[in-house]
Amino acid sequence: MNMIKFKHFHKSKLVYRVTFLLLSCLVLFAPMTAYADTPADIANNDGYSIDYKYNPKGDVVISAYNGQILYGYNIDAKWPPASMSKLMTLYLLMQEMDKGKVTYKTKVTVNDKYYGISKLPMLSNNNFRKGATYTVDELIQIMLTASSNSATFMLANLVDKDDSDFVDLMNRKANELGMTNTRFYNPAGPPNNLLLQYKPKRYLQDDDNISSSRDFAILCQHLVTEYPEILKYTSKVNVTVKKGTQDQETFGTYNHSLEGAKLGYKGVDGLKTGSSDTAGFNTAITGKQNNMRIIQIMLGVEDWYDPPAEFNRNKMANAIMDLIYSKYAYKKVLSKGVHKVNGKEIIVFNDLYDIVRDGQKGKLIYKNGKVHYEYDREFISKDYNAPTVKYEDYEKYKTEQFFKHNLWWIVMVSIFSIIAGIFLLIYYFRPHWFKSVKMICTQKYQSLVKWIKNKRKKD
């Protein structure tokens, strides 16, 4: 009996040791982007006092530069983005404007449909007047700052007049970008049932648009890098449109982390918030400090009827940005010029910059003419990788440069050498040709000299 107990004791001890070892390995080798702390933890560590009931459903921070995940919390949790859906409408509009058919000066008139949407209850809208005319420039500002659903439909219909076809386009674009957890039912983002008769005809379900923090980070990264001019709209704390007319309206931002806003954070200049009774409070934030632009997506701070939730969203977002800027930096990891790698000289054509975590060791990888900085990290999707710069064998490069800069002289010398070689061959095989030529040249020369002498005597 004692022997059985002894064996059982040692077996338990062995299991404990193995378990401890495995857990230690997990902690040691876990990706640096996997944080154990929740957004509420981070905010409280940063000096706020946030109840854990305000933890969002999902949150992610990425580098706009390379799509690297800098912080993640339930980043694939599906949740309604609410009015942040308007960012996809904006992206499609910007792509349409690239074609040149729509410009910032293009005008849109408020018709019965847009007027009707502006009067729907429980929606983010402004006071549109039937027959009033707005430019695309004005409508973008109204859509982003006032979160106007009516303005959103007006812009969406510049891309496609049929609302259902436009939502098809939204979903195709989401799939193209790799937003695998995203499904749109309308261009603006409110619960579909609140649009009443204005729901897209092929999307009549009483559903919310659905997405995830990861998916919206992908979308915002494309927006910010491909169309940085949108930040002139999203960076405004207060805006007035149609100033001095009967349609003048003034709007204030809902992005409380915007620099200059109630919970303003240094460097924040966009993007968009979203809220509803089903979504709670969401936010898409972008900002830049020390040449490093980050994007944060926070979804599902609840609930919509709880006044502190709206501002706790931004307190947590700000605390997370504090953490990111303290841990990561945009740095030069390799200078352009000549370097010795494995005993061989190579030339790097541009400085290599990357997002580097404080205290994280990495190494430079040279492969197939490109060099990148490698360390343990994750990216928002398979479409993103560590930035690279080109390199080449230095001796080969010097040879190429010599021929590039001296090509004209090389060609001229080659031509002269070929001609000289031809003459030498002729002289070797047909020397009498040269005697005849010499005789003719001598006679011509003597005739010329004689003519000159006679000319001088006459003068």
Quick: pLDDT tens for 440-452.
777 777 777 777 7
SS3 332: strand
Report CA Rg, the chain.
Answer: 35
pLDDT digits (tens, 9 = 90+) for 67-82: 999 999 999 999 999 9
pLDDT value at 198 more than 60: yes
Q: Of 322, 378, 286, which Cα lies nearest the Cα of 67?
A: 378
Predicted confidence band at 10 (pLDDT cuts at 50, 70, 90)?
Answer: very low
Per-chain mean pLDDT for the chain? 88
pLDDT value at 333 more than 50: yes
- Find the mean pLDDT for residues 159-173: 97
pLDDT value at 125 more than 90: no
CATH code 3.40.50.300 for 39-327: no
Beta bridge partner(s), residue 340: 345
Domain spans in the chain, listed from the N-terminal domain onward: 1-30, 39-327, 330-395, 407-458
Report the C-alpha gap between 112 and 424 in whole angstroms: 93
Residue corresponding to tokens 């398979």: 382
Q: Provide the percentage of residues in the chain whose pLDDT is more than 70.
A: 86
Supply the pLDDT for residue 250: 96
Angle between helices 163-177 and 213-226 in degrees, nearest 10: 90
Q: Which of 198-202, 283-287, 409-413 has the lowest mean pLDDT?
A: 409-413
pLDDT value at 386 more than 90: yes
- Find the mean pLDDT for residues 376-399: 88
- Tell me if 172 sits within 8 A of 108, measured CB to CB: no
Residue type, 402: F
Give one DSSP letter per residue of 404-447, joined into a string.
HHHHHHHHHHHHHHHHHHHHHHHHHH-HHHHHHHHHHHHHHHHH
Query: Is residue 303 exposed (0-12), middle (13-18) or buried (19+ Cβ within 10 Å)?
Result: middle
Supply the pLDDT for residue 407: 57
Q: How is residue 334 written in tokens?
A: 């390799």
Which carries the bigger pLDDT value, residue 75 or residue 431?
75
Residue type, 219: L
Opening angle at CA 53, ends 47 and 56, nearest 5: 85
Beta bridge partner(s), residue 296: 61, 285
pLDDT value at 6 more than 60: no
Predicted confidence band at 413 (pLDDT cuts at 50, 70, 90)?
Answer: low
Q: Of 275, 274, 251, which Cα lies nearest the Cα of 261?
A: 251
Predicted confidence band at 459 (pLDDT cuts at 50, 70, 90)?
Answer: low
Q: Which of 178-187, 189-198, 295-304, 414-423 has the lowest mean pLDDT?
A: 414-423
pLDDT value at 116 more than 50: yes
CATH code 2.30.140.20 for 330-395: yes
Residue corresponding to tokens 């054509």: 349
- Find the mean pLDDT for residues 112-122: 93
Supply the pLDDT for residue 54: 97
pLDDT digits (tens, 9 = 90+) for 223-265: 999 999 999 999 999 999 999 999 999 999 999 999 999 999 9
Q: Provide the percentage of residues in the chain whose pLDDT is more than 90.
A: 72
Supply the pLDDT for residue 35: 54
- Tell me if 331 sits within 8 A of 375, measured CB to CB: no
Asked if 39-327 and 330-395 have one fold, the answer is no
Report the C-alpha gap between 423 and 207 in whole angstroms: 90
Q: Which of 6-15, 45-54, 138-147, 357-366 has the lowest mean pLDDT?
A: 6-15
- Find the mean pLDDT for residues 213-230: 98
Query: Is residue 406 exposed (0-12), middle (13-18) or buried (19+ Cβ within 10 Å)?
Result: exposed
Residue corresponding to tokens 């405004």: 236
- Find the mean pLDDT for residues 17-43: 57
The residue length of the chain stands at 459
Contacts of residue 144, defined as CB under 8 A and 6 or more positions apart, other chains included, come to 86, 90, 230, 233, 234, 272
Report the C-alpha gap between 226 and 212 in whole angstroms: 21
Residue type, 221: Q
Report the C-alpha gap between 334 and 436 in whole angstroms: 69
- Tell me if 375 sits within 8 A of 361, measured CB to CB: yes
Supply the pLDDT for residue 5: 43
What predicted TM-score, i.e. pTM, was given to this entire model?
0.81
Report the C-alpha gap between 61 and 293 in whole angstroms: 10
Q: Of 350, 356, 358, which Cα lies nearest the Cα of 388?
A: 350
Q: What distance separates the 2 farthest-apart alpha carbons in the chain?
A: 148
Supply the pLDDT for residue 53: 96
Give one DSSP letter per residue of 1-55, joined into a string.
-HHHHHHHHHHHHHHHHHHHHHHHHHHHHS-TTB-SS-HHHHHHHTT----GGG-
